Structure 1
């Protein structure tokens, strides 16, 4: 970005900050967090062409500094010095693969795009993508990876990973690739086999989850835009979870109307697929909330026409009343704009003090709020196959500076550690994989 362009973008960002101050003064008291199975969601207040834009400046971690673990837990760096680690996959032999990738800026279409790109650059959320998958190995089991190797490189914004039999699958932004895999290998040299193609741009992550029997692969594909801003035609094949049949190579839409479904996990008792979804922007601090939900085959979850069940978004025109009537209400609200990305099932007793089964969620953190939200790892307990409790419990916090103007890190992917008694968290601003275990 040239100096003149950068100054222009910063000027636009200052205009956005002024609009943010004005909104704070006119909107009154901040609403309570929209969380739980029956959240209070304030009426949407469209923010227009300059929506609220607030992100902390990326600072990184000082030597010896760590996030804050919940009481009874301890946190250490499993691996540091990575380059924007986003997603984690633990292999059967205990090796940990990490996708290192970064959003690459596209051409700005509006004045607000200029401001958003400049703000995201300052927050270390945009730049040149490393485009690789690194393999970490903790051979002595002390909770710190002694070796790291480049398992794959030259990819295109890799994110999701899955291993089925002797095939390692990678979710690139533009498709799914299959690589032959030998147990214990530290580098894959063989060429890939394309399995599916997807449109790139917009929400770029392509998370992967294998079916328990290994017959199918599920892919989270986010929308191109916020609310179908460029028309519905360009959103075909997006805002959905895609099912790939690994034997036939066929694919179909498993569920749709999910603006940006990222993390996915199976409930081991019910066999249901669950996901966390990032909802739309530009309606207010808590409107609508991101959510955790079970995913019904063939289900429609509202995007872009409505949210949290059948609350119509009047900004979307033309509306579709038939689709709105079909919209499924999600199971559990996670608060507005928390950017809940990571998801994994955590059995009871995995971590001390967490004596219920439930889901762990990595909340990457907000940008479209007057007060920051997310920037933490939380736990949602389950009972009788469904989320329980009025609000999630904190597992890992302390990613923000006390005045919230800077971030030391931002959590993304989460996974149960190789020992089954710890939790791994990818921190893409801190360039660290954190390990949480017994204190």
Structure 2
């Protein structure tokens, strides 16, 4: 709000005092007349949140469960939502330079390609088969050659891509020997073996090697380190530990135009109460505490950073709220404080505990509606370790360009959980913006790709 407007809003008897007062007096006088928040200009423009219960448009050919009955999702005003494709257990997605959609299907060892077919259902076919738990998909161009990087649980591949390719070409394994359930020391048990990846503008490849457990010390001394991110050259050479203390970083993405790496992290479950206080709950797993602790993590990752897991847990119950949270010592692994939690890199932004954040999509440089174009989306897959379900939605964070951090979370698409019964019929995973500016959303529970479309009125 401009100063001229402020003056116009004040009673006339205040004007002389305001004009002649020093700055500090001016602020004091104004705040006695108007609430401070009226004087302050919001740093971020907050677009409309999900508020309209909207029937999902579904063709007859795709109306099997859960669309054998009318389904509704809550979206912002002026949006519609439809079923674009049905793909069982669809996980991560990526839009090709020519507009085709690639969809990973870890359970079948495939990456599928989805091609628009006019007004008819899209054409779905195999892009590459025979993979071991394929998961993340990233397009990246180096010296006029476009590659598709596809992660498997045990390695990272890249394929040379030419516009219009409907099958993968020229496969190269760039990183081999990543730990998964076949790793001998793990004896067939790996809780988070699916790999996620990102590539920066300097052609460095980043691989999230998630934890094999809920919480354990073994992952912090393994080789390679688990609960960590490694960096490689684009061809897989020069492996090195980039950051650690990140239990399960599923969403990896760079802020467009920068090499600032951000991650969305699934944090631990069944945490023990860490405080010696009047509750007498110290060391116990108490459901009301577990419900909200520790928060999921949405944070920038620096080279050499350590983000605490499994020794230190971010605490959202301080004056900071979910921003730059202090750490509590983990009762199970750090009750004596032998790991200095004050030395850990603070988590920039917390998300409600047990929401299970997966896909991370920055909207800058896309054709998504301009109201939302300076922000980032996170797919929240949904909780199991909580008395009342949380997650099961796609959320939006406006982006603050000055501080380079996300603002307060709002819902963009919700409604996959039925509030009265707590039953759910869908679990969103990842998002991508197509060439027309529609948002595509994968759902591995109902086996669906949704299309969220903006129609200005």
Query: How high is the TM-score relative to the length of structure 1?
Result: 0.73
Specify the SS of the correspondent of 2:77: coil
What's the counterpart of residue 197 of structure 2?
A: 208
- Native 8 Å contact 1:305 1:319 kept in 2: no
Among 73, 91, 98, the alignment partner of 1:93 is: 98
Per-residue Cα deviation, 1:168-218 (whole angstroms, up to 9, x for no partner): 2211111112233333111126554342321112212211212124x2211
Among 378, 388, 391, the alignment partner of 1:374 is: 391
Give the Cα–Cα distance (whole angstroms) in 1 for the partners of residues 146 and 406 of structure 2: 38
- Native 8 Å contact 1:270 1:385 kept in 2: no
Q: Which moved more, 1:261-270 or 1:314-323?
A: 314-323
Q: 1:379/1:191 Cα in 2 relative to 1: closer, same or farther (>3 Å)?
A: closer
Query: How high is the TM-score relative to the length of structure 2?
Result: 0.70
- Native 8 Å contact 2:98 2:164 kept in 1: yes
What's the counterpart of residue 149 of structure 1?
A: 125
What's the counterpart of residue 51 of structure 1?
A: none
For structure 1, the 5+ residue unaligned runs are 1-58, 102-128
Give the Cα–Cα distance (whole angstroms) in 1 for the partners of residues 172 and 214 of structure 2: 33
Give the Cα–Cα distance (whole angstroms) in 2 for the partners of residues 335 and 72 of structure 1: 28
What's the counterpart of residue 442 of structure 2?
A: 426
Among 156, 160, 171, the alignment partner of 2:151 is: 171
Give the Cα–Cα distance (whole angstroms) in 1 for the partners of residues 179 and 430 of structure 2: 23
What's the counterpart of residue 299 of structure 1?
A: 305
- Native 8 Å contact 1:209 1:217 kept in 2: yes
Specify the SS of the correspondent of 1:288: coil
User: Is 1:198 paired with 2:178?
Assistant: yes
Q: CA RMSD in A?
A: 2.5
- Listed as ranges, the matches of 1:305-316 within 5 Å are 305-308=311-314, 309-316=326-333
Give the Cα–Cα distance (whole angstroms) in 1 for the partners of residues 258 and 103 of structure 2: 29
Among 215, 221, 231, the alignment partner of 1:227 is: 215
Specify the SS of the correspondent of 2:331: coil
- Native 8 Å contact 1:73 1:352 kept in 2: no
Among 111, 119, 126, the alignment partner of 1:133 is: 111
- Native 8 Å contact 2:174 2:236 kept in 1: no
Among 186, 199, 218, the alignment partner of 2:166 is: 186
What's the counterpart of residue 264 of structure 1?
A: 252
User: Is 1:61 paired with 2:67?
Assistant: yes
How far is 1:219 from its partner?
Answer: 1.4
Give the Cα–Cα distance (whole angstroms) in 2 for the partners of residues 372 and 199 of structure 1: 32
Specify the SS of the correspondent of 1:336: coil
The one of the two structures with greater contact order (alpha-carbon pairs below 8 A, sep at least 6) is 1
- Native 8 Å contact 1:206 1:220 kept in 2: yes
Q: 1:206/1:148 Cα in 2 relative to 1: closer, same or farther (>3 Å)?
A: same
- Native 8 Å contact 1:228 1:235 kept in 2: no
Specify the SS of the correspondent of 2:256: coil
Give the Cα–Cα distance (whole angstroms) in 2 for the partners of residues 324 and 208 of structure 1: 28
**Runs of 4+ deviating beyond 4 Å:** 189-192, 229-232, 317-320, 348-353
How far is 1:305 from its partner?
Answer: 0.5
Per-residue Cα deviation, 1:223-279 (whole angstroms, up to 9, x for no partner): 011110667445842111111212462211211110110111111255311110111
Specify the SS of the correspondent of 1:98: strand
- Listed as ranges, the matches of 1:9-408 within 5 Å are 60-62=66-68, 65-80=71-86, 82-101=87-106, 129-138=107-116, 140=118, 146-164=122-140, 165-188=145-168, 190-200=170-180, 201-213=190-202, 215-228=203-216, 232-234=220-222, 236-247=224-235, 249-283=237-271, 284-308=290-314, 309-316=326-333, 321-322=338-339, 324-347=341-364, 350-352=367-369, 354-355=371-372, 357-383=374-400, 384-389=402-407, 391-408=408-425
How far is 1:326 from its partner?
Answer: 2.2
Specify the SS of the correspondent of 2:225: coil
Q: 1:351/1:181 Cα in 2 relative to 1: closer, same or farther (>3 Å)?
A: closer
How many residues are paired up?
348
Specify the SS of the correspondent of 2:126: strand
Q: 1:229/1:243 Cα in 2 relative to 1: closer, same or farther (>3 Å)?
A: closer
- Native 8 Å contact 2:220 2:226 kept in 1: no
Q: 1:199/1:348 Cα in 2 relative to 1: closer, same or farther (>3 Å)?
A: closer
Which of the two has higher C-alpha Rg?
Answer: 2
For structure 2, the 5+ residue unaligned runs are 1-64, 181-189, 272-289, 315-325
